[in-house]
Amino acid sequence: MEHNGFLLEQKTLEGDLNSDTSHKNSVDFLMNWFRKRSIFVLAYGTGCGAIEMPPTFTSRYDAERLGIRGAATPRQADVIIVSGYCSYKTLRRIIRTYEQMSNPKYILALGSCTVNGGMYWDSYNTIKKLEDYLPVDMYVNGCMPRPESILEGFIALQKEIGEGKASSWKKYEENYEFYRKNQEAILGKKVEPSYDADWYLYDGGL
């Protein structure tokens, strides 16, 4: 049957999300299906790309129809969006937040700044390549990415989750030494989280 208008858009967006056959057994399939259809995104605007998040999640682009919605705390979130350039100070908080999230967890990186530094390639306070410090599942390029691109990024991520391919959190656990080494190279030995009750006392606050 020919689709047009909204139905066509929905069909194009979701594409072959529903027709993946790569699962090993039906339990895997079911688990992945649940995961991809309920993605909770942590409300942490780390960079300028955060300004396109409200349009994505509100009535015009309406990401919620795809099962993507906001979550207030890291413990309840599945996806953290690193929306653009990432200064050292923010990177420390992102690492802390990311480690607090429960598995399975995914990272969506927005903007050219996370890919290669973008406009700030010669800035002394931003990192140039996010995947050296944290495992990235999906990059969405652009400066800044439009809501449509963010949605497409989410769909691509959902597809990977559905096929069971998105497993960056496992990669992070397996290659923890590598990531930790890179993090310490720019942040110093005191990389959060230190998980100490009074860490802020000797750290001078957040």
Partner 1 sequence: MENKHITIFHGPQHPGITGNMSIELDLIGETIQKATTHVGYLHRGFEKLIERRTVIQAFTIVCRICVPEPDPNEANFAMAVEELAGLEVTPRAQYIRVMVLELSRLAAQFLWMAGQSGSIGLYAVGQWAIADRDLILDLFEELTGARVYHMYIYPGGVRRDLPEGFLERVTTLLIYMKKRLKDYDDIFINNASFKNRAVGVGIISKEEAVANGYVGQVLRGCGIKADVRKDAPYLVYNELEFEVPTQTTGDVYARALVRRAEMDQSLHILDQVVRKMPEGKVMIKIPTHRKFKLPKDDTWVKVESARGEFAYYMAGDGSEKIRRMQVRGPSLVHAYTLLEDLLIGAELSDVALIMNSLGICPPEIER
Partner 2 sequence: MFNEIKQRFATDDVEVKRNDLYKVRIKYSRLFELMHMLRDEYDYKTLNAITCTDWIEEGHFALTYMLTTEDRKYTFMIQTMINREDAQAKTLSHEYKQAQIMERDLHEMYGIDFPGNENLKELSLESWVHTPPLRREFDTLEFVTNHLIFREGREDNVDTKAETKRLRAEKKAQKSKDEEVKDGK
Q: Which residues contact 67 (CB under 8 A, 6 or more apart)?
A: 36, 37, 38, 39, 158
Distance CA 16, CA 170 (A): 26
Residue 125 backbone dihedrals phi, psi, to 5 degrees: -120, 10
Q: Rounded to the nearest whole angstrom, what is the least distance from the CB of residue 130 to partner 2 in the complex?
A: 10
For the bound state, the minimum distance from the C-beta of residue 187 to partner 2, rounded and expressed in Å, comes to: 8
Q: Tokens 């310490």 label which residue?
A: 184
- Token pair, residue 103, equals 């598995």
The region of 13-21, 31-39, 69-77, 128-136 touching partner 2 under the rule CB under 8 A is 128-136
Residue 201 · residue 101 · CB < 8 Å: no
Tell me if 97 contacts partner 1 by CB under 8 A: yes
What amino acid is encoded at 15 in this protein? G
- The single-letter code of the amino acid at 104 is P
Verify binding: residue 152, partner 1, rule CB under 8 A. Answer: no
Distance between CA 41 and CA 99 in Å, rounded? 15
Q: Which of 32, 44, 105, 156 binds partner 1 (CB under 8 A)?
A: 44
Lay out the site mask for partner 2 across 132-171 (x = CB under 8 A, - = otherwise). x---------------------------------------
**178-197: contacts with partner 2 (CB under 8 A):** 182, 185-188, 190
CB-based contacts of 32-37 (< 8 A; 24+ apart in sequence): 32/161, 32/162, 32/163, 32/164, 33/162, 35/78, 35/104, 35/161, 35/162, 36/67, 36/158, 36/159, 36/161, 36/162, 37/67, 37/158
Nearer to partner 1, 125 or 175 (CB): 125
Examine residue 110 and tell whether it contacts partner 2 (CB under 8 A).
no
Between 38 and 58, whose beta carbon lies closer to partner 1? 58
CB of 115 to partner 2, least distance (A): 7
Is residue 115 at the binding interface for partner 2, with CB under 8 A as the rule?
Answer: yes
Q: Which of 35, 36, 41, 47 binds partner 1 (CB under 8 A)?
A: 47
Tell me whether residue 2 or residue 122 sits nearer to partner 1 (CB atom).
Answer: 122
Note the residues at the interface with partner 2 (CB under 8 A): 88-89, 92, 115-117, 121-125, 127-129, 132, 182, 185-188, 190, 204
